[in-house]
Structure 1
Amino acid sequence: MATINKRPSGKWQATVRRAGRSTSKTFTKRADAVMWARDAEMRAERGELCKPKTTTATLSDALHQLADKKPSERWRLHALARTKLATLRIDVLTAAEVAAWRDRRVQEAKPSTVVRELSLMQTAIDHQLDDSDANPVRHVRRPRISDRRERRLTGDEWQRLLDAAVQCKNALMLPLIVLARETACRRGELLSMQWCDVDLQQRVVLLSMTKNGHARFVPLSPMAVQVLTTLPRADDRVLPITENAVRLAWQRLRARAGVEDIRLHDLRAQAATDKLLEGWSVAEVQVLTGHRDAGVLLERYARLRASDIVAKLHAVE
């Protein structure tokens, strides 16, 4: 018998059980889950319902394998693979052990960091199992995230950042921060961007490696096209620089600009806010940022203020 359930993530999980066996799969769209469930039920009628795949791999093994598929998260995955929890085999790992790790970890890291790490663990284990319900991380409650930021750049601060980037020893920092604000791309997406995926004639770039695992086309503004046109093509990557080099250079850059409370990720939120203030619809901004959930976009990235609305209300006076 098939059941279709909506997960806390907003995705749809289809599960088919028959004669003590079960198989399940998660989909973004409910229609896809229903279609898969019907096919699985037919296979079950024919006695072809497979037993869930088991594994003797450790969590560390799974994390290292996922690192090969997610270059932008490689350093974080390798760090997780070195934890004591990661030494346990997946087939004996329990939700209680993961929850205990979560409680310890939340004492030393922000809730958003812990949520991100749990999501990576869940993905790594999912790749090892057929039955996602058997993944213990799925049954562990995530810490509540309450670190919403309202920080926005002023025109003067942006100019100071640009001036500081010009003085930076790494010549790629200036195009990186400009592209970050123009495209709303994440740092990892910018650093994994390949020249073969850049189409300056159509003014789009294909991002095949994204945080949510879904490839997307990003529209390029005139400024983004100008920046890309001036960059050398001596490497397959548009911005051949390591994440660690960016992190260190950004710390020096923002200190030189006198805006040490600005994070590089704030430029992504700034881009979303800029477009909303310019009159873009939420759906249009979603195409730019790649958010599949408009609620997340509005809650965490649309940093609008009451003064912005007042300005619009009195614009006709």
Structure 2
Amino acid sequence: MVRRKGTAPRSKSFDKKTDAEKWARDLEAEVDRCGFLPDTKLAEDTTLADIMTRYREEVTPRKRGAKIEVFRINAMLRHDIMHRTLALLSSSDIAAYRDERLQSVGPAAVVREIATISQAIDTAMKDWNIYLVRNPAKLVRRPSLPRGRDRRLEGDEEQRILAACDRGRIRWLKPMVVLAVETSMRRGEMLSLRWSDIDLDRRVAHLSMTKNGSSRDVPLSTRAVETLSGLMQQPDRDPEKVFMVSENAVRLAWDRLRNRIGLENINFHDLRHEGVSRLFEKGLDVMEVSAISGHKTLTMLKRYTHLRAEDLALRLG
């Protein structure tokens, strides 16, 4: 039992005396720090599964990536750590969860899962009146992420890809490939394009919503303008959207195309890497490239930029 003048006494039972003494020391230290005896009953009665479920229902739907996060949380709820109450949840528990998950999924997936746990605990502490001394997820070391992909188009690969598009039956795939390289737009950004977003006279495409949650205007090269003009002149084009296809349809069409021409090691997203790298090779500076590509930080922009040493040597003279 912990008693302090001016506050209601707090008590809790333990199987071991050492656990009771640790609880009392931590509680008294917190009283000294904040000047009052915090109510830890909610944290003692609430499990990690409780707050993850509430977070999924109340917070996740407001996010742009809600579907993916719902799927992630549902999978996480099947693990034993979710039965731990918040009062007993420690950084070692989350570290053990991290090590267990690394046996079956990659480091990037584990980083996202720990980040989701951390966000849910932060929300519980700030908005749901659940008292914790600290967020244990913030004390856990994240696994190191692998190096970003550095795949670029080499030799005649671009010509082979475009020729395969011409031989195929899917008319929208070649324009998407060209626009990905010329504008550095993401696949989802191209699929969200409407004709009302495009001004061919000004040579600008407006993206009202992007992956990082902000809008931007993308300048169009001569080749991009020609591609969009060709799409606009098609008699059977959709009156509103530039590409009336789903992201899954693009993925499947790309997989079939690259398998036909023997380029299994290149992803559609690598075309964005290629586009960003070409912008630097044209002499644009960091601010100009980030304005086109939409990258918020130099760190992320560097991950998407892969300049060839031989090209840099030519610029050195």
Matched residue, 2:276:
272
Picking from 87, 100, 103, the partner of 1:104 is 100
Report the CA distance shift for 1:313/1:116 in structure 2 as closer, same or farther (over 3 A): same
Residues in 1 aligned to 2:196 and 2:91: alpha-carbon distance in whole angstroms = 43
- List aligned pairs for 1:68-79, cutoff 5 A: 68-69=61-62, 73=65, 75-79=67-71
Report the structure number with the largest CA radius of gyration: 2
SS in structure 2 at match of 1:205: strand
Instruction: Give the superposition deviation at 1:130.
Output: 4.4
Hey, which of these two has a bigger chunk of strand by percent?
1
* Match status 1:285 vs 2:277: no
Instruction: Give the superposition deviation at 1:285.
Output: 0.9
- List aligned pairs for 1:70-219, cutoff 5 A: 73=65, 75-85=67-77, 88=82, 92=86, 98-116=94-112, 118-119=114-115, 130=126, 137-219=137-219
- TM-score, structure 2 normalization: 0.67
What is the letter of the counterpart of residue 77 of structure 1? E
Residues in 2 aligned to 1:153 and 1:130: alpha-carbon distance in whole angstroms = 48
Are the aligned partners of 2:204 and 2:218 in contact in 1 as well (CA < 8 Å)?
Answer: yes
Residues in 2 aligned to 1:237 and 1:91: alpha-carbon distance in whole angstroms = 49
- Is the deviation greater in 83-92 or in 97-106? 83-92
Structure 1, unaligned stretches of length 5 or more? 1-16, 22-53
- TM-score, structure 1 normalization: 0.67
Matched residue, 1:307:
310
What is the letter of the counterpart of residue 241 of structure 1? V
Instruction: Give the superposition deviation at 1:293.
Output: 1.4
Q: Give CA-to-partner distance per residue, 1:294-314, whole Å, 9 cap, x none.
A: 23322x122113212222234
Instruction: Give the superposition deviation at 1:223.
Output: 2.1
Identity of aligned residues (%): 40
Residues in 2 aligned to 1:91 and 1:274: alpha-carbon distance in whole angstroms = 52
- Is the deviation greater in 183-192 or in 271-280? 183-192
Residues in 2 aligned to 1:207 and 1:124: alpha-carbon distance in whole angstroms = 30
SS in structure 1 at match of 2:202: coil
Residues in 2 aligned to 1:180 and 1:90: alpha-carbon distance in whole angstroms = 46
Matched residue, 2:226:
226
Picking from 258, 262, 270, the partner of 1:258 is 262
When the two chains are superposed, the root-mean-square deviation of aligned CA atoms in Å is 3.8
Residues in 2 aligned to 1:129 and 1:199: alpha-carbon distance in whole angstroms = 47
Q: Give CA-to-partner distance per residue, 1:239-267, whole Å, 9 cap, x none.
A: 23222222221111111222111111111
Instruction: Give the superposition deviation at 1:95.
Output: 5.3
Are the aligned partners of 2:51 and 2:120 in contact in 1 as well (CA < 8 Å)?
Answer: no
Residues in 1 aligned to 2:84 and 2:218: alpha-carbon distance in whole angstroms = 37
Instruction: Give the superposition deviation at 1:156.
Output: 0.7
What is the letter of the counterpart of residue 175 of structure 2? P
Residues in 1 aligned to 2:60 and 2:167: alpha-carbon distance in whole angstroms = 34
Structure 2, unaligned stretches of length 5 or more? 1-32, 38-45, 128-132
Report the CA distance shift for 1:197/1:153 in structure 2 as closer, same or farther (over 3 A): same
SS in structure 2 at match of 1:206: strand
Are the aligned partners of 1:195 and 1:233 in contact in 2 as well (CA < 8 Å)?
Answer: no
Instruction: Give the superposition deviation at 1:160.
Output: 0.9
Q: Give CA-to-partner distance per residue, 1:156-210, whole Å, 9 cap, x none.
A: 1011111222334433222222221112122232233344433334332333333
Picking from 43, 55, 59, the partner of 1:62 is 55
Residues in 1 aligned to 2:125 and 2:169: alpha-carbon distance in whole angstroms = 46
Picking from 242, 247, 250, the partner of 1:246 is 250
SS in structure 1 at match of 2:264: coil
Are the aligned partners of 2:51 and 2:124 in contact in 1 as well (CA < 8 Å)?
Answer: no
Are the aligned partners of 1:59 and 1:90 in contact in 2 as well (CA < 8 Å)?
Answer: no
Instruction: Give the superposition deviation at 1:60.
Output: 4.5
SS in structure 2 at match of 1:239: coil
